[in-house]
Amino acid sequence: MAARTPAERIVAAIRAIPRGEVAGYGHVAQRAGLPGRARMVARLLSRNDDPTLPWHRVLRSDGRIAFPVGSEGFVEQCDRLRREGVDVTDEGRVRTAKRARTLDEAVWG
DNA sequence: CTCATGACTAGCT
DNA sequence: TAGCTAGCCATGA
């Protein structure tokens, strides 16, 4: 096994997100061993070319989709999440079954 | 090396 | 609760 690069660790962390659940950029980064690199995760997804990567499960710290409402990426992410059983409002807000105020306890808590 | 950009976050008003 | 500002990290010109 080759030495995993930070980017690979981030990808692995995203792949570790269970279907129907979501995680925040900061959480993914921290789980990847890169605390404070939330922007690195975002940049990776923006440049990611892996269709098997569940990028749609990655949301902002507010629990909202990182795309502007009505945007193409927003619609796609929203659609994918809904197909996994995740409730998403028109505002892009994601509601987990645990109904936690913060993703911290909703997913990885 | 410096400036500008971005799928971010936390803090303050 | 909502909106704005400053801070932080990586990359590209």
Q: Which domains does chain A have, with CATH numbers?
A: 6-108 (1.10.10.10)
Residues 73-102 of A with CB under 7 A from strand B: 73, 77
Nucleotide nearest to A76 (CA to C1'): B7
Q: Above 70 in pLDDT, residue A21?
A: yes
The whole-angstrom separation of Cα A70 and Cα A67 is 8
Statement: residue A107 has pLDDT above 80: no
Q: What is the pLDDT of residue A103?
A: 47
pTM of the model: 0.85
Average pLDDT over residues A95-108: 56
Q: How many Cβ atoms sit within 10 Å of the Cβ of residue A91?
A: 9
Mean pLDDT over residues A25-43, rounded? 95
For nucleotide C11, the protein residue with its alpha carbon nearest to C1' is A43
